[in-house]
């Protein structure tokens, strides 16, 4: 009998050990499968970040994000849940043209939370390394134009993948003032969609599926439009910058933050706005400028403002912490003519400044500064011009001007030596040119006329 009991006991011990072993094997199997799924989700996070980078360096915003896929990848404000997995993307600055991206996937294990992290560094190589221009820009040609009908005057534009987002002011509040123009075939562009935001718009910028609009209505400074379907844009929110009673003049977007500028006001003129949820924008902070903020350009975590202030026509603001923006530099240009436009060429860190015409001597309408160190802008050269210059845009060694000069509103200069810029070519428009954007060797230019959009390229 004792032998039998011993045998059963031994068998029980053996069976228990085997059971533990088998359970471990099953747990190991499940863990292995989960780890494999997590690795590919993490890898997908890096590829998604890469594709977001490809839509625009400014879209690869620093911070902690979730991911959203609706045919394209974009960052969202909340972590992404995929079954048992949670995916988080962390983006940090290494320098102004390089960011580290960490794709972090976690999931519940049997005893603890398990995680996998993959990391990569993404650079702004397209804008730094690749030449932006090809062909003969000594002989520019008009590819196509778009007529918005009588009484419409464009004020600003943004461009992405051949779609042009145009803000305008109309002769009547009942007319459309935001247009999406399909210029994927530059020779036959057409208005794909439009909205009447009333009373009119002064600025536009786009991020992901949303257009951010600077409205002339001082009670609705910021408006957000869903542009997911270019033929059917629609407003999703209107927002007042509390305490400011002047109209919004300028807007620039980066990630989930909007930088907005208004006309001179008794209160602050510059605002940072959180649009992580575009339906409910919220002011993060504001800054006193002391003049009109006519234009805003964002490069990395710096915002460059063109202002009407007599002593600081250009202001550089650090927006690394949008909740606490800080002025890090200001440029006092000769004389007092207002700055109307600013653009930084990512390739060479040249800040191009466009100004109103001044009849006084030594009051250059165009200036170029080196802002490799944004705290210490260094003047490279400047130029007197014969009209108001609304926009000066740098690409490769060239500078494009949009101006009020009635004989040639559009001009091209070789600015390889900013101290001695060489005129190359120009085109006459029916009215003054107010803004431009370069994409894929094509200049999209907003003209203050019915003939609202000119599409220009090289021979």
Partner 1 sequence: MEVLIYTAMVSVIMLGVISLAFVTLDVRGKVRASIILQENYRFAMNRVTMIVNQAEDITYPTIGETGTELILAMAEPALDPTVINTVDGIIYVQQGLGQPMALTSAEVDVQGFSIDRASTTAPMVRIVVSGRLRDSHSSYPDLSVTTTAVVRK
48 binds partner 1 (CB under 8 A): yes
Query: Which among 38-46, 288-296, 301-309, 378-386 is the span making contact with partner 1, rule CB under 8 A?
Result: 38-46
Identify the residue whose tokens are 């992404």. 80
13, 33, 149, 376: residue in contact with partner 1 (rule CB under 8 A):
33
181 binds partner 1 (CB under 8 A): no
> What burial letters (b/e) apply to 395-406, b meaning 16+ CB within 10 Å?
bbbbbbbbbbbe
Q: Which is nearer to partner 1, 227 or 305 (CB)?
A: 227
26 binds partner 1 (CB under 8 A): yes
> Quick check: 284 and 323 in contact, CB under 8 A?
yes
Query: Which among 33-41, 338-346, 373-381, 409-417 is the span making contact with partner 1, rule CB under 8 A?
Result: 33-41
CB of 15 to partner 1, least distance (A): 6
> 283: which strand partners?
273
Task: Report DSSP state, residue 59.
Answer: G
43 binds partner 1 (CB under 8 A): yes
98 binds partner 1 (CB under 8 A): no
CA dist 186 and 164 (Å) reads 11
9, 13, 20, 28: residue in contact with partner 1 (rule CB under 8 A):
28
CB of 28 to partner 1, least distance (A): 7
CB of 228 to partner 1, least distance (A): 9
Phi-psi label, residue 259: left if phi above 0, alpha if psi -120 to 50, beta otherwise: beta
9, 54, 243, 280: residue in contact with partner 1 (rule CB under 8 A):
54
CA dist 237 and 222 (Å) reads 8
CB of 430 to partner 1, least distance (A): 32
101 binds partner 1 (CB under 8 A): no
> Quick check: 371 and 350 in contact, CB under 8 A?
yes
73 binds partner 1 (CB under 8 A): yes
Question: SS3 for 252?
Answer: strand
Long-range contacts of 315-322 (CB under 8 A, 24+ apart): 315/289, 316/371, 316/374, 316/375, 316/377, 317/259, 317/270, 317/287, 318/374, 319/254, 319/257, 319/259, 319/272, 320/62, 320/93, 322/257, 322/272, 322/274, 322/284, 322/285
29 binds partner 1 (CB under 8 A): yes
Q: Using alpha carbons, select from 458, 459, 455, 457 the residue that is nearest to residue 447.
A: 455
Q: Which is nearer to partner 1, 36 or 378 (CB)?
A: 36
Q: Quick check: bond before 311 cis, omega within 30?
A: no
> Quick check: 89 and 96 in contact, CB under 8 A?
no
CB of 118 to partner 1, least distance (A): 11
Q: Which is nearer to partner 1, 81 or 378 (CB)?
A: 81
Query: Which among 13-21, 243-251, 326-334, 406-414 is the span making contact with partner 1, rule CB under 8 A?
Result: 13-21
Q: Which of residues 267-296 bind partner 1 (CB under 8 A)?
A: none
40 binds partner 1 (CB under 8 A): yes
20 binds partner 1 (CB under 8 A): no
Identify the residue whose tokens are 């499968």. 33
Query: Which among 4-12, 146-154, 248-256, 444-452 is the span making contact with partner 1, rule CB under 8 A?
Result: 4-12
Helical (H) or strand (E) element with 384 = none
Give just the sign of the alpha carbon dihedral 129, 135, 137, 140: negative
> If binding means CB under 8 A, how many residues of this protein chain bind partner 1?
33
6, 22, 84, 416: residue in contact with partner 1 (rule CB under 8 A):
22
Q: Using alpha carbons, select from 286, 204, 277 the residue that is nearest to residue 244.
A: 286
CB of 362 to partner 1, least distance (A): 46
Token pair for residue 223? 């408006």
129 binds partner 1 (CB under 8 A): no
CB of 235 to partner 1, least distance (A): 22
Query: Which among 23-31, 143-151, 218-226, 255-263 is the span making contact with partner 1, rule CB under 8 A?
Result: 23-31
Q: Which is nearer to partner 1, 54 or 93 (CB)?
A: 54
Query: Which among 66-74, 175-183, 251-259, 403-411 is the span making contact with partner 1, rule CB under 8 A?
Result: 66-74
6, 9, 20, 32: residue in contact with partner 1 (rule CB under 8 A):
32
Phi-psi label, residue 300: left if phi above 0, alpha if psi -120 to 50, beta otherwise: left
DSSP β-ladder status, 350-355 and 339-345:
antiparallel
What are the residues binding partner 1 (CB under 8 A)? 4, 7-8, 11, 15, 18-19, 22, 25-26, 28-29, 32-33, 36-37, 40-41, 43-44, 47-48, 50-51, 54-55, 69, 71-73, 82, 161-162
């Amino acid at each position: 009998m004792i032998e039998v009991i011993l045998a059963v006991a031994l068998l029980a011990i053996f069976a228990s050990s085997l059971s533990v072993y088998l359970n471990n094997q099953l747990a190991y199997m499940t863990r292995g499968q989960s780890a494999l799924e997590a690795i590919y989700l993490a890898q997908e996070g890096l590829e998604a970040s890469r594709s977001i980078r490809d839509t625009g360096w400014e879209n690869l915003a620093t911070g902690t994000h979730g991911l959203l896929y609706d045919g394209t990848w974009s960052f969202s404000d909340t972590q992404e849940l995929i079954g048992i997995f949670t995916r988080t993307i962390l983006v940090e600055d290494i320098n102004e043209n390089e960011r580290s991206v960490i794709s972090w996937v976690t999931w519940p294990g049997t005893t603890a939370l398990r995680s996998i992290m993959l990391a990569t560094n993404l650079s702004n190589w397209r804008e730094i390394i690749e030449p932006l221009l090809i062909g003969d820009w000594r002989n520019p040609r008009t590819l196509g134009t778009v007529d918005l009908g009588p009484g419409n005057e464009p004020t600003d534009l943004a461009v992405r993948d051949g779609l042009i987002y145009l803000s305008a002011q109309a002769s009547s509040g009942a007319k459309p003032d935001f247009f999406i123009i399909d210029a994927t075939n530059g020779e036959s562009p057409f208005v794909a969609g439009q909205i009447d935001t009333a009373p009119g718009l002064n600025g536009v910028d786009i991020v992901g599926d949303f257009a951010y609009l600077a409205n002339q209505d001082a009670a609705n400074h910021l408006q957000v439009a869903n542009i997911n379907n270019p033929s059917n844009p629609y407003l999703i929110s209107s927002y007042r910058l509390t305490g400011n009673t002047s109209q919004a003049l300028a807007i620039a977007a980066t990630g989930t933050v909007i930088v907005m500028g208004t006309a001179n006001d008794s209160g602050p003129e510059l605002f940072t706005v959180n649009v992580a949820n575009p339906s409910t924008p919220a002011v993060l902070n504001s800054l006193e400028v002391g003049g009109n903020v006519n234009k805003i350009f964002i490069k990395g975590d710096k915002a460059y403002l063109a202002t009407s202030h007599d002593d600081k026509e250009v202001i550089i603001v650090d927006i690394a912490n949008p909740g606490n923006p800080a002025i890090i530099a200001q440029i006092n240009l000769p004389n007092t003519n207002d700055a109307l436009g600013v653009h930084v060429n990512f390739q060479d860190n040249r800040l191009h400044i466009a100004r109103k015409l001044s009849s006084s001597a030594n009051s250059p309408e165009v200036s170029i500064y080196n802002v490799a160190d944004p705290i210490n802008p260094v003047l490279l050269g400047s130029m007197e011009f014969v009209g108001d210059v609304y926009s000066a845009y740098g690409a490769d060694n060239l500078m494009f001007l949009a101006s009020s000069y009635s004989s040639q509103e559009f001009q091209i200069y070789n600015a390889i030596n900013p101290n001695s810029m060489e005129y190359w070519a120009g085109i006459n428009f029916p009215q003054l040119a107010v803004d431009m954007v370069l994409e894929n060797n094509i200049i999209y230019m907003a003209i203050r006329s019915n003939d609202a959009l000119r599409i220009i390229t090289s021979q």
